[in-house]
């Protein structure tokens, strides 16, 4: 199946291309984000506009931002770069929202019945 390409004008280098099994957002030929059956690829310089504790690797790991990172990590004084930080800080707020949604769905069921 042919790939569809969307650009602001024919001479533009930036655009969005979508195919049968992949999608690509590109600024130039070398700077792009592509997703396909092999995964998600980012090519070019990358900037993250976030603080270190907000950047996760996997689902459980965040970067260690304690002052202990000021001490060099050696065999005698090992220092962990990543910390286990399960994303359960907002579970209580999510539970309240889920209860609200469930009660609204219950009211809709009572109205229909």
For residue 93, what pLDDT is reported? 77
Q: What is the pLDDT of residues 49-99, one digit of tens each?
A: 888 778 888 878 888 887 767 778 888 878 888 888 887 777 777 788 888
Contact (CB, 8 A) for 84 and 92: no
Domain boundaries, the chain: 4-43, 52-112
Say how far apart CA 12 and CA 43 lie, in whole Å: 19
Q: Sorting pLDDT into bands at 50, 70 and 90, what band is 14?
A: very high
Q: What is the pLDDT of residue 85?
A: 82
State pTM to two decimals. Answer: 0.48
- Per residue in 24-59, pLDDT tens? 999 988 899 999 988 999 998 888 888 877 888 887
Q: Say how many C-beta atoms besides its own lie within 10 A of residue 44's C-beta.
A: 11
In angstroms, the CA 100 to CA 106 distance is 10
């Amino acid at each position: 199946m042919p790939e569809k390409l969307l650009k602001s004008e024919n001479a533009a280098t930036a655009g969005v291309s979508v195919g049968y099994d992949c999608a690509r957002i590109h600024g130039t030929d070398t700077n792009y984000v592509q997703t396909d059956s092999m995964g998600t690829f980012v090519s070019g310089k990358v900037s993250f506009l976030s603080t270190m504790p907000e950047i996760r690797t996997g689902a459980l790991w965040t970067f260690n931002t304690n002052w202990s990172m000021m001490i060099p990590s050696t065999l005698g004084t090992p220092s962990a770069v990543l910390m286990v930080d399960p994303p359960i800080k907002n579970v209580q707020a999510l539970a309240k929202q889920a209860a609200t949604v469930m009660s609204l769905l219950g009211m809709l069921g009572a109205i229909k019945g």
